[in-house]
Amino acid sequence: MLLGKKFESFVQASPVSVMVRGVLERAFAPAHLDALFERTAQVGYTRELLFSATVQLMSEVVLGVSPSVHAAYQDAAEALPVTITAVYDKLQGIETAVSAALVRDSAQQFAPLVQALAGQARTLLAGYQVRILDGNHLAGVQHRLAELRRLRAAGLPGLSLVVLDPQLMLMMDVILEPDGHTQERSLLSRILPLIQPGELWIGDRNFCTLGFLFGVVRREGCLLVRQHGLLQGVLLGKRKSRGRTDTGRLYEQTMRLEDPQTGQSLQVRRITVDLDEPTREGETQIHLLTNLPVGDANARQVAELYLRRWTIEQAFQDLTVALVCELNTLGYPKAALFGFCLALVAYNAVSLVQAALRAVHGAERIEQEVSWYHLCLHLAKVYSGMMIAIPTKHWAVFRELDNESLAQLLIDLAGRIDLRRFRKHPRGPKKPRPVRQRAKHNTHVSIARLLAARPP
């Protein structure tokens, strides 16, 4: 074990906490963060409050260690040379380019480590680097800003487009927009420069635009999106049956799309799923558009690939439940988006820990049994006491190790974890909701009387 005696008790009692804190030490090394800020910031500058200190403060809120920014500031007030007002001023001025760079930088640091661990999730499609794209509007905030106090409407602090690598299970990049009323489609032009040849991009129907489809093809990428009702093309040939999936019967037909701006045309495969059960919106079929060659993915594989799009929806759910990704007390858009990006970095850190768990315990077992919620809840309980027992200076060892050594350390720690502490508890099948009786005069009932009347 590369760690000293200071770590012994926590390595035995809570190895996962040591792993997450060590990985964050790697990502949040103060000199590295301050250098990133200097490279990326166009307007912001440093006086007394370093960018690294701001990240450290906010990370405790995101991890659930502190309930608010103010509480985190009070805990660290002696080490910070500024007032709480200065902290809030710093937060509301952090540029979106800096926040996005934090996410990108964490992915670049962690991707080689996941590969060194051999802890990737299962490959979705052989020969392709898959990217799942989805948007996330931050929830409404409290009416603390003067401009919001006279309004009943919720204040929206912004939105993001997030790119997930489902094999590495890392958030690779993010596009941020402070205007909460902006449509996701208007940000797609900022996604196109990210696309590399040979990548497969999967998205829902919000991303089904001619500009995006033709843009992906021009960059020699592949796409798989659900057809939006507003996008029309010319169907060619007869529709052919392609068997079934678990959700319905499959059909395939060629579609030709025309780009009125450039005059270019594009032929894609349209995979139709006639659903056994309607969607929540009452739709009985969905259409998927892809330029994947038939030899690389048949109709069933295409339909199953699209279902994997829910991987990023689950990731957003984990961010909301297990990590504090949306602080309703931060009304200023740049501050709220900064907090969201720190949650994405924390997600990447926990994903790296899960990669080590997959390497030791097997990918299928981790996917089926380990709960993100219970893992992060355990971390929040242990974190404060661990940082008192093991001061910050002792964690520098995680910054000094090369990737191979750190990967071996993470595997050693993962082997000490009792997975039963973080077991999922899946609920049973949903029961039909009974029709509720409406009392004419009573707006409440006594639970004790209802239970007393329950049949024996």
* DSSP symbols for 163-193: EEETTTTEEEEEEEES-TT--GGGGHHHHGG
Q: Please give the C-alpha separations between residue 209 and each of 173, 279, 312, in angstroms, as whole numbers.
A: 21, 22, 21
> pLDDT tens for residues 228-286?
888 888 999 899 999 998 888 999 999 999 988 888 899 999 999 998 888 878 888 89
Query: Does the pLDDT value for residue 324 go beyond 70?
Result: no
Query: Does the pLDDT value for residue 5 go beyond 90?
Result: no
Q: Please give the C-alpha separations between residue 372 and each of 272, 333, 377, 427, 438, in angstroms, as whole numbers.
A: 34, 27, 8, 15, 39
Query: Does the pLDDT value for residue 211 go beyond 60?
Result: yes
Task: Report the mean per-residue pLDDT for the chain.
Answer: 88
The model's confidence at residue 194, banded by pLDDT at 50, 70 and 90, is very high
- Edge-to-edge strands of the sheet including 159-165? 170-177, 159-165, 129-137, 199-203, 222-226, 285-290, 265-275, 248-258, 234-244
Q: What share of the chain in percent tops pLDDT 70?
A: 98
Q: Is 167 exposed, middle or buried (0-12, 13-18, 19+ CB in 10 A)?
A: middle
State the DSSP code for 157: -
The letter for the amino acid at 126 is A
Query: Does the pLDDT value for residue 192 go beyond 90?
Result: yes
Q: Is 328 exposed, middle or buried (0-12, 13-18, 19+ CB in 10 A)?
A: middle
Compute the residue count for the chain: 456
Give one word for 282, left, alpha or beta, with left for phi > 0 and alpha for psi -120 to 50: left
For the residues 305-326, what does the mean pLDDT come to? 77
Alpha helix (H) ranges present in 362-431? Answer: 363-369, 372-389, 397-400, 403-414
Which contacts (CB < 8 Å, 24+ apart) does range 202-205 have?
202/130, 202/131, 202/132, 202/133, 202/305, 202/306, 202/308, 202/309, 203/132, 203/133, 203/134, 203/309, 204/134, 204/309, 205/229
Query: Does the pLDDT value for residue 62 go beyond 60?
Result: yes
Cβ atoms of 414 and 359 within 8 Å: the answer is yes
DSSP assignment string, 229-290 = TT---EEEEEEEEEEE-SSEEEEEEEEEEE-TTT--EEEEEEEEEEESS--TT--SEEEEEE
Q: Please give the C-alpha separations between residue 386 and each of 14, 30, 116, in angstroms, as whole numbers.
A: 10, 20, 27
Domain spans in the chain, listed from the N-terminal domain onward: 5-94+322-422, 215-306
- 222 or 316, higher pLDDT: 222
Q: Is 199 helix (H, G, I), strand (E, B) or coil?
A: strand
**In 10 A of CB 325, how many CB atoms?**
23
> pLDDT tens for residues 383-411?
888 888 888 888 888 988 899 999 999 99
**In 10 A of CB 90, how many CB atoms?**
22
- What's the pLDDT score for residue 325? 66
Query: Does the pLDDT value for residue 199 go beyond 70?
Result: yes
- What's the pLDDT score for residue 150? 84
